[in-house]
Chain A
Amino acid sequence: MTVLTSQNVVKRFTEGKQTVEVLKGVSLDASRGEIVALEGPSGSGKTTFLSILGCILTPTEGRVVVDGQEVDLSRPGDLPAIRRRSIGFVFQQFNLFPALSAVENVEYSLNVRGVKGSAARREAERVLDAVGLADRKAFLPRDLSGGQKQRVAIARALAGAPPLLLADEPTANLDSHAGRQVLELFRDLAKRENRALVIVTHDPIVRSIADRVAVIHDGLLAA
Chain B
Amino acid sequence: MVSLARRNLFHDKLRFVITIAGVAFAVTLVFVQVGLFLGLLDNASVTIENIDADLWVTSRNTPNVDFAHTFPESYVQRVRSVPGVARADNLIVWFMQLSLPTGAQEGTLVYALEDFKAWNLPWSVIEGHVEDLPRGDFFFLDDSATRRYGPFAVGQHREISERRLKIIGRTDAARSFTTTPIAFMDTALAQELSYQALRGNTTYVLVKLAPGADVAAVRAEIGRRLPYNDVFTKAEWAQRSRAYWVANTGIGLNTYLTVFLGILVGVVVVALTLYTSTMEHLKEFGTVKAIGGSNADIYRILAEQSVIAAVLGFAVGAVFALAAGPGMEKAGLKLIITPDFGAIVLVGTVLLCLAASMVSFRKVAALDPALVFRG
On whether the beta carbons of B1 and A117 are closer than 8 Å, the reply is yes
Q: Does A81 contact B (CB under 8 A)?
A: yes
Q: Nearest Cβ distance between residue B299 and chain A, in whole angstroms?
A: 14
On whether the beta carbons of B292 and A113 are closer than 8 Å, the reply is yes
B294 in complex: contacting residue of A51, A80, A89, A95, CB < 8 Å: A80
B292 in complex: contacting residue of A57, A92, A97, A112, CB < 8 Å: A112
Interface of B, helix, strand, loop or mixed by DSSP: helix
Complex contacts, B11 vs chain A, CB 8 Å = 98-99
Q: Does A34 contact B (CB under 8 A)?
A: no
On whether the beta carbons of B372 and A91 are closer than 8 Å, the reply is yes
Q: Does B290 contact A (CB under 8 A)?
A: yes
Tell whether A80 pairs with B284 under 8 Å between CB atoms, given A56-B370, A107-B2.
no
On whether the beta carbons of A93 and B4 are closer than 8 Å, the reply is no
Count of B interface residues, CB-CB < 8 Å = 24
Instruction: Give chain B interface residues in 1-39, CB to chain A under 8 Å.
Output: 1-2, 4, 7-8, 10-11
Q: Nearest Cβ distance between residue A97 and chain B, in whole angstroms?
A: 6
On whether the beta carbons of B2 and A100 are closer than 8 Å, the reply is yes
B4 in complex: contacting residue of A54, A92, A108, CB < 8 Å: A108
Q: Does A32 contact B (CB under 8 A)?
A: no
B2 in complex: contacting residue of A54, A56, A98, A111, CB < 8 Å: A111
Q: Does B283 contact A (CB under 8 A)?
A: yes
Count of A interface residues, CB-CB < 8 Å = 34
Tell whether A116 pairs with B292 under 8 Å between CB atoms, given A51-B373, A95-B372, A99-B11.
no
| Total A-B residue contacts, Cβ distance less than 8 Å | 76
Complex contacts, A47 vs chain B, CB 8 Å = 373
On whether the beta carbons of B373 and A112 are closer than 8 Å, the reply is no
Complex contacts, B292 vs chain A, CB 8 Å = 80-81, 83-85, 87, 112-113
Nearest to B286 among chain A residues (CB) is A95
Q: Does B297 contact A (CB under 8 A)?
A: yes
Q: Does A109 contact B (CB under 8 A)?
A: yes
Q: Nearest Cβ distance between residue B13 and chain A, in whole angstroms?
A: 11
CA distance A200 to B60 in the complex (A): 90
Complex contacts, A104 vs chain B, CB 8 Å = 2, 7
On whether the beta carbons of B373 and A92 are closer than 8 Å, the reply is yes
Q: Does A26 contact B (CB under 8 A)?
A: no
Highest count of chain A CB atoms <10 Å: which of B4, B287, B289, B293: B287
CA distance A51 to B368 in the complex (A): 11
Complex contacts, A156 vs chain B, CB 8 Å = 291
Q: Does B122 contact A (CB under 8 A)?
A: no
Nearest to B375 among chain A residues (CB) is A92
Q: Does A50 contact B (CB under 8 A)?
A: yes
Nearest to A91 among chain B residues (CB) is B372
On whether the beta carbons of A168 and B8 are closer than 8 Å, the reply is no
Complex contacts, A91 vs chain B, CB 8 Å = 287, 290, 372-373
Q: Nearest Cβ distance between residue A121 and chain B, in whole angstroms?
A: 9
Nearest to B295 among chain A residues (CB) is A80
On whether the beta carbons of A83 and B290 are closer than 8 Å, the reply is yes
Query: Can you offer 12 A-B residue contacts whose CB atoms are under 8 A?
Result: A56-B370, A80-B294, A83-B291, A83-B292, A84-B292, A89-B291, A97-B284, A97-B287, A99-B7, A104-B2, A111-B1, A112-B292
List B residues at the A interface (Cβ < 8 Å).
1-2, 4, 7-8, 10-11, 283-284, 286-294, 297, 369-370, 372-373, 375
Return the 4 tightest CB-CB contacts between A and B, nearest first: A84-B292, A99-B11, A99-B7, A83-B292
Q: A97-B7, A99-B11 are known contacts; what are 10 more A-B pairs with Cβ within 8 Å?
A: A56-B290, A80-B294, A89-B372, A91-B372, A99-B8, A99-B10, A100-B7, A111-B1, A156-B291, A172-B375
